[in-house]
Structure 1
Amino acid sequence: MSDLERDLYPHWVSVPTRWSDNDQFGHVNNAVHYSVMDTTINNWLKAHDFDVAQGGDTINLIPETGCRYLAEMSYPDVFEVGLRALSVGRSSVRWECALVRASDGELVALATSAHVFVDAVTRRPSAVPQALRASLEELVTGPIS
Structure 2
Amino acid sequence: MSVRPTPAARNSFAEFRQIATRWMDVDIYGHVNNVQYLSFFDTAVNGWYVDKGLIDPARSRNIFLVVETGCHYFAELKFPETIDTGIKVSKLGSSSVVYEIALFKEGEAEAAAQGRFVHVLVDRETRRPARIPDAMREVLMGLSATT
Which TM-score band (shorter chain)? 0.7 to 0.9
Amino acid at match of 2:33: N
Amino acid at match of 2:42: D
The number of residue pairs the alignment matches comes to 141
* Structure-1 residue corresponding to 2:133: 129
TM-score for both structures, normalised by structure 2 = 0.86
* Structure-2 residue corresponding to 1:43: 47
* Structure-1 residue corresponding to 2:119: 115
SS of corresponding position for 1:54? coil
* Structure-1 residue corresponding to 2:143: 139
* Structure-2 residue corresponding to 1:72: 76
Segments of 5+ residues of structure 2 without an aligned counterpart are 1-5
Alignment equivalent of 1:19, drawn from 11, 23, 29: 23
How do 1:94-113 residues align onto structure 2 when only pairs under 5 Å count? 94-102=98-106, 104-113=108-117
How do 1:82-93 residues align onto structure 2 when only pairs under 5 Å count? 82-93=86-97
Inter-partner Cα distance in structure 2 for 1:118 and 1:36: 22
* Structure-1 residue corresponding to 2:3: none
SS of corresponding position for 1:53? coil
Inter-partner Cα distance in structure 2 for 1:110 and 1:85: 14
* Deviation for aligned residue 1:81: 0.8
* Deviation for aligned residue 1:7: 3.2
Q: CA RMSD in A?
A: 1.8
Q: Does 2:71 match 1:56?
A: no
SS of corresponding position for 2:113? strand
**Percent identical:** 35
Amino acid at match of 1:64: E
Inter-partner Cα distance in structure 1 for 2:131 and 2:56: 15
Inter-partner Cα distance in structure 1 for 2:11 and 2:126: 39
Amino acid at match of 1:108: A
* Deviation for aligned residue 1:105: 4.2
